């Protein structure tokens, strides 16, 4: 057993207020400094942040941030990019399934009509580039539209496999719901950015 003095010396988790301050400071610094520098190489490095630093490092900074904050919005975009990077074939197929049912979102997302894995990767990279070198609200809306098309495709995919694998269909349906929620969160973040309230 530890005595009280030893117990006090053990380091615990970071204080939530400190974690929140760290998240906001890092997200704000990355976005504002990259936008001020207007350097394509810096933007490219930031787009590939997860590849360079690892998803765990980025998660430690931003994953606990609420969706209506800059670090929360960035976290969602990086997770989408990493998902596409890890499973581009499945997501390209789901995107193709969602295209017919979500034409407006397809246009906003900016994806070719029949994207393959490479095109899907290019789109999520372009969305993240827009965060650092374009209109951040538009980048967030493009990310939201991308999620909505994928959600539609996931729902269709769930319908196709339901007879063969009800459990997999249920997972896909839940995943589609999560994508819609992420889309709504990104849309809200875009509106907050436009009104200068996304911190």
Domain assignment present for residue 115? The answer is yes
* Total domains present in the chain: 1
Pick from 101-115, 136-150, 180-194: least confident: 101-115
Cα–Cα dist 144/183, whole Å? 4
Q: For 67, phi and psi rounded to 5 degrees?
A: -65, -20
Q: Which tens digits make up the pLDDT trace of 121-170?
A: 999 999 999 999 999 999 999 999 999 999 999 999 999 999 999 999 99
Show the beta-strand stretches assigned E in 31-105. none
Query: Distance of CA 1 to CAs 6, 7, 8, Å?
Result: 10, 9, 13
pTM value? 0.88
| Nearest residue to 91 via CA among 104, 65, 109, 66 | 109
Supply the range of the domain harboring residue 75.
Answer: 15-194
Domain assignment present for residue 1? The answer is no
Domain assignment present for residue 9? The answer is no
Domain assignment present for residue 5? The answer is no
């Amino acid at each position: 057993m530890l005595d009280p003095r030893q117990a006090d010396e053990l380091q615990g988790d970071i204080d939530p207020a400190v974690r929140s301050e760290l998240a906001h400071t890092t997200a704000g610094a990355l976005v504002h400094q990259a936008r001020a520098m207007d350097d394509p190489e810096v933007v490219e490095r930031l787009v590939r942040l997860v590849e360079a630093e690892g998803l765990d490092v980025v998660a430690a900074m931003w994953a606990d941030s609420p969706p209506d904050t800059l670090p929360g919005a960035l976290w969602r975009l990086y997770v989408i990019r990493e998902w596409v990077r890890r499973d581009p074939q499945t997501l390209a197929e789901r995107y193709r399934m969602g295209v017919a049912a979500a034409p407006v979102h397809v246009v906003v997302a900016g994806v070719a009509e029949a994207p393959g894995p490479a095109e899907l990767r290019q789109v999520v990279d372009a969305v993240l580039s827009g965060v650092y070198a374009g209109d951040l609200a538009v980048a967030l809306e493009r990310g939201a539209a991308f999620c909505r098309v994928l959600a539609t495709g996931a729902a269709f995919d769930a319908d196709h496999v339901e007879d063969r694998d009800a459990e997999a269909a249920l997972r896909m349906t839940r995943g589609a719901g999560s994508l819609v929620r992420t889309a709504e969160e990104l849309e809200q973040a875009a509106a907050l950015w436009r009104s200068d309230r996304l911190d």
